[in-house]
């Protein structure tokens, strides 16, 4: 549309003249049409420009066109909606015109692109002063990551030549290399085909000095429980300028549940005296988890790489007993243990308290009982007129 808003229109009815020609239509429309409710994903979120200023651009990497508005907080940056597509209204990029610097200090502008669902995305543009400088943006100076292996780009703001830079890491588990992304940035700028509703021209793109340098940091997985720290230092080769980035990686994680309930290191789980089983689920950021028991009556079997079953035999002694269950990770200090405490064995006859006396007449009588508990037992009668029949835990006593 003429003002940049999107409309969605469909016809509900056509109007015809007496000759059957369509001369009008009834329509319904939706305005404004906002597109998908998701944040914009720019190709770069931090750009560095020399003191000469110039032209730069970012392209949004969303899978569909999302209408947006754009504004900048500094007058020396002019930001315009633009497009890399066949039609100017399909805005999927922003082009920036940056005026030359007039001071020796570097300056930073924030360009904010906001969707019609009020989701904002910011791009920072640093215009370098005339003096040599090297820095890492404040919002990238510190980084905290989880224990998993990863890699990320650390933006570098400088007006030094790429060949005059060096980078090092304080830890062997965090390797780093310098990357010159300037050609990529220039290619993105040259991919712009529309600026507003006008065809794009790239006369300034050839003279712009946009430096897009970054350090590619590759971090190995932390297989141990302790947090670890490293620093990444970017320097000029003469050593006069440097900037430091601090990296903190969390320790490896291990969590255990038993029959759906969380289990912590050192916990004691009380279990009954009879035969039973416990389902154990282990979640960890490292591989090679093993689980073992120090008692044969608590046998651990593996269901899959995260699930285990502990088969507990009935306690055939009257005393309580304990088994230690240990969980460890291979090639790691990650470990925990908990204790199974099994109650002493019991023996009883269901519904009898042990002191019941029956008085019967001369007729034949049969009484049925169920034996309960985990202790071994034998059943006998001290009279031949009182016979016993036993089947498992079921007991029949016949008085002749």
Query: What pTM was computed for the model?
Result: 0.64
Parallel, antiparallel, or unpaired for β 321-329 and 107-115? unpaired
Task: Determine the Cα angle at 141 with ends 92 and 150, to 5°.
Answer: 70
Does residue 58 register a pLDDT over 80?
yes
Residue in 115, 111, 9 with CA at minimum distance from that of residue 67: 115
pLDDT at 120: 96
Condensed to tens digits (0 to 9), the pLDDT of residues 283-318 reads 999 988 999 999 999 999 999 889 999 999 999 999
Residue in 360, 258, 248 with CA at minimum distance from that of residue 312: 258
Does residue 202 register a pLDDT over 80?
no
10 Å Cβ neighbour count for 330?
11
Residue in 338, 323, 320, 309 with CA at minimum distance from that of residue 272: 320
Exposure string for 32-69, b = 16+ CB within 10 A, e = fewer: eebbeeebbebebbbbbbbbbbbbbbbbbebeebbbbe
Does residue 1 register a pLDDT over 50?
no
Condensed to tens digits (0 to 9), the pLDDT of residues 254-287 reads 999 999 899 999 999 999 998 999 999 999 999 8
* Cβ neighbourhood burial of 221 (10 Å; 0-12, 13-18, 19+): middle
Query: CA-to-CA distance for 215 and 156, rounded, in angstroms?
Result: 7
Does residue 122 register a pLDDT over 60?
yes
Condensed to tens digits (0 to 9), the pLDDT of residues 161-170 reads 899 999 999 9
pLDDT at 204: 47
Which of helix, strand or coil describes residue 351? coil
Q: Rounded mean pLDDT of 160-187?
A: 92
Does residue 203 register a pLDDT over 60?
no
Compare 183 and 390 and report the one with higher pLDDT.
Answer: 390
Q: Rounded mean pLDDT of 358-381?
A: 90
């Amino acid at each position: 549309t003429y003002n940049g808003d999107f409309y969605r229109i469909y016809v509900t009815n056509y109007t015809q003249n007496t000759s059957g020609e369509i001369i009008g239509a009834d329509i319904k429309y939706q305005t404004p049409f906002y597109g998908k409710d998701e944040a914009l994903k720019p190709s770069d979120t931090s750009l560095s420009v020399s003191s000469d200023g110039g032209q730069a651009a970012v392209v949004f990497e969303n899978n569909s066109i999302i209408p947006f508005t754009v504004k900048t907080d500094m007058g020396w940056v002019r930001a315009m909606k633009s497009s890399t597509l066949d039609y100017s209204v399909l805005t999927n990029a922003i082009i920036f015109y940056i005026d030359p610097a007039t001071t020796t200090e570097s300056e930073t502008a924030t360009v904010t692109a906001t969707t019609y669902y009020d989701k904002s995305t910011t791009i920072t543009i640093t215009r370098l002063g005339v003096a040599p400088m090297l820095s890492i943006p404040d919002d990238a100076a510190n980084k905290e990551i989880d224990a998993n292996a990863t890699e990320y780009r650390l933006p570098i703001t400088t007006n030094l030549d790429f060949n005059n830079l060096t980078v090092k890491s304080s830890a062997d588990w965090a390797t780093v290399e310098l990357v010159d992304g300037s050609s990529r940035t220039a290619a993105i700028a040259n991919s712009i085909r529309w600026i507003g509703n006008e065809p794009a021209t790239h006369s300034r793109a050839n003279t712009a000095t946009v430096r897009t340098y970054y350090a590619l940091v590759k971090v190995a997985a932390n297989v141990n429980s302790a947090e670890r720290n490293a620093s990444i230092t970017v320097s000029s080769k003469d050593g006069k300028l440097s900037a430091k980035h601090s990296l903190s990686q969390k320790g490896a994680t291990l969590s255990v549940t038993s029959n759906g309930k969380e289990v912590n290191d050192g916990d004691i789980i009380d279990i009954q005296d009879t035969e039973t089983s416990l389902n154990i689920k282990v979640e960890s950021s490292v591989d090679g988890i093993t689980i073992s028991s120090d008692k044969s009556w608590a046998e651990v079997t593996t269901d899959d790489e995260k699930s285990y079953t502990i088969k507990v035999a009935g306690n055939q002694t009257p005393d309580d007993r304990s088994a230690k269950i240990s969980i460890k990770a291979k090639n790691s200090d990650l470990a925990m243990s908990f204790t199974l405490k099994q109650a002493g064995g019991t023996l009883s006859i269901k519904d009898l308290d042990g002191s019941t006396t029956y008085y019967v007449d001369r007729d034949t009588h049969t009484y049925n009982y169920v034996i309960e508990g985990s202790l071994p037992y034998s059943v006998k009668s001290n009279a031949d007129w009182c016979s016993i029949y036993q089947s498992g835990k079921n007991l029949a006593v016949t008085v002749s």
